[in-house]
Amino acid sequence: MTASNDDREHGTGHTPGPTSTASVSASDAAATTAVGRRSAGRNGWAQPTTPGALSKRVQRRLTAPQATRTNAIHPGAWWLWALGLGTAASRTTNPLLLALLIGVAGYVVAARRTEAPWAHSYAAFVKLALAVLLIRLAFAVILGSPIPGTHTLLTLPELPLPAWAEGIRIGGRVTAEGLTFALYDGLKLATLLICVGAANALANPARLLKSLPGALYEAGVAVVVALTFAPNLIADVQRLRAARRLRGRPDKGLRGLLQVGLPVLEGALERSVALAAAMDARGYGRTADVPPTVRRTTTALTLGGLVGVCAGTYGLLTAEGGSYGLPVLLAGLAAALAGLWLGGRRSLRTRYRPDAWGVRAWLVAASGAAVATLLILYASHAPSNSAALHPGVVPLTAPTLPLWPAAAILLGLLPAFIAPTPEHTRSKSAHPEHTHPKNTRKEPS
């Protein structure tokens, strides 16, 4: 049997059998179908789409993009989101709502934090919040509580105090009502600390400093250095404790604390000196000449605006100031912004690649603001709503979960779905078997 012309051209010298003929026919049919689909797409015809491909396309559209330098969420948006959750926490003592706020903050941090050093400070804030809660309960047990109660849990020996210390007692009866009130109060403060810790773990402090107005740049440098001190301190402690464990030395107890504390303090001082030298070499602190009238106007507007912001914020956080809090806050913000705009003329600096406040940043900030606004409106809508947000302890009643505030708090989960996904989170979810470097190592052949 002789070879075909095509076989002679390709140098095979082989006559295709039935299997080869079937495979060629199948490939020709697939190529014809692909050409037809491409031509149909160009001509505007409706292309057939399978349900699986459609679902993958929708999922790809709804999935948050991978985090890069250009699409990262603005650090100010993370702080506004966290402050919104903190404002909502300050409006209630319901332990169920406070636990829901803690869960929302923790889920967003776990889903969207990076591997940067400051991102690991969230655990330290959680431990600090737990310590604050325990201290508040200990004070209620030892020093008593102003809340009267009839359910006595235990009676401690009471220490007699002089007459000038009237109203203060050490020991005595410990009631369930007083302990429950202390638990609610301490849990609210712990929730505020966890919200601040979430902002510290998600927002880049260096980018936040770059976004500040020129009038607040010097103060912003001090604030950012203070904010980064705690994460760097925690990282130094963990590094030194790990080094001591590798050397077989104790890293716990008073002796381990003393031997770790001195290197940590030395490293903090060295870092401060290096930072001061780097800032001085880069010309920090230079100012431009402005007229005295502009300086006085800037000072008056900035100070007056900050006082108005403080007074308005206090009014929003307290039940008595709900009528004047918002107008005073808006007036203070307007005056402060005008002062900052005038004060920015004294700053001789430029911004390299400024951070853009995109749509996702607006949605992140709006989710936190919506949580705070909805809880404030719910509390002021009817007197009965206040009882749901502040469960009573005399008489002692079990707290209930109000549905509308709970649904409002769940809006704080929006950043976990719209914010760009960090690279390490996306790689772990896509390739769970490659989470450890030793699993990706190839054996030599």
Check residue 88 and give its pLDDT: 92
Inter-CA distances, 247 with 242, 258, 260, 419, 442, Å: 9, 17, 13, 42, 32
Q: What's the DSSP call for residue 244?
A: H
Highest average pLDDT, of 49-63, 408-422, 429-443, comes from 408-422
Dist CA 192 CA 359 (whole Å): 27
Highest average pLDDT, of 89-103, 197-211, 286-300, 308-322, comes from 89-103
Question: What confidence tier does 346 reach under pLDDT thresholds 50, 70, 90?
Answer: low
| Residue 16 near residue 24, CB atoms below 8 Å | yes
Inter-CA distances, 178 with 99, 144, 191, 391, 395, Å: 20, 8, 20, 13, 11
* DSSP symbols for 254-300: HHHHHHHHHHHHHHHHHHHHHHHHHHHHTTTT-B----HHHHHHHHH
Dist CA 324 CA 304 (whole Å): 16
Asked whether residue 152 carries a pLDDT value surpassing 80, the answer given is yes
Check residue 52 and give its pLDDT: 59
Dist CA 149 CA 393 (whole Å): 9
Question: What confidence tier does 166 reach under pLDDT thresholds 50, 70, 90?
Answer: confident
| Residue 415 near residue 112, CB atoms below 8 Å | yes
- Specify the 3-state DSSP secondary structure of 396: coil
Question: What confidence tier does 151 reach under pLDDT thresholds 50, 70, 90?
Answer: confident
Asked whether residue 250 carries a pLDDT value surpassing 80, the answer given is no
Check residue 226 and give its pLDDT: 66
| Residue 210 near residue 86, CB atoms below 8 Å | no
Inter-CA distances, 91 with 88, 172, 390, Å: 5, 32, 9
Structure-model confidence comparison of residues 349 and 146, the more confident one: 146
Dist CA 231 CA 124 (whole Å): 9
Point out which residues pair with 175 in neighbouring strands.
Answer: 152
Residue 379, both tokens: 């509390």
Angle between helices 75-90 and 359-381 (to 10 degrees): 10
Question: What confidence tier does 126 reach under pLDDT thresholds 50, 70, 90?
Answer: very high
Check residue 13 and give its pLDDT: 43
Longest distance between any two alpha carbons in the chain, whole Å: 123
Dist CA 237 CA 31 (whole Å): 63
- By the 10 Å C-beta count (0-12 exposed, 13-18 middle, 19+ buried), 345 is classed as middle
- Specify the 3-state DSSP secondary structure of 354: coil
Dist CA 420 CA 109 (whole Å): 13
Residue 238, both tokens: 């963990």
Cis peptide bond upstream of 395, omega within 30: yes
Determine the residue type at 350: T
Check residue 159 and give its pLDDT: 82
Check residue 55 and give its pLDDT: 56
List, in sequence order, every beta strand (DSSP E) within 7-99.
Answer: none
What number of residues does the chain have? 445
Check residue 157 and give its pLDDT: 85
Question: 143-162: buried (b, 16+ CB within 10 Å) or exposed (e) per residue?
Answer: ebbeeebeeeeeeeeeeeee
Question: What confidence tier does 161 reach under pLDDT thresholds 50, 70, 90?
Answer: confident
Check residue 266 and give its pLDDT: 78
Residue 93 phi, psi (nearest 5):
-120, 10
Check residue 21 and give its pLDDT: 41
The lowest-confidence range among 114-123, 133-142, 199-208, 260-269 is 260-269
Check residue 33 and give its pLDDT: 44
For the segment 156-172, the average pLDDT, to the nearest whole number, is 80
For the segment 322-336, the average pLDDT, to the nearest whole number, is 81
For the segment 216-231, the average pLDDT, to the nearest whole number, is 66
| Residue 305 near residue 336, CB atoms below 8 Å | yes
Check residue 341 and give its pLDDT: 76
Dist CA 101 CA 93 (whole Å): 12
Residue 130, both tokens: 């737990």
Residue 4 phi, psi (nearest 5):
-75, 170
Dist CA 428 CA 435 (whole Å): 6
Highest average pLDDT, of 89-98, 240-249, 354-363, comes from 89-98
| Residue 189 near residue 101, CB atoms below 8 Å | no
- Residue 361 CB neighbours (<10 A): 24
For the segment 9-14, the average pLDDT, to the nearest whole number, is 42
Percent of the chain clearing pLDDT 70 (strictly above)? 65
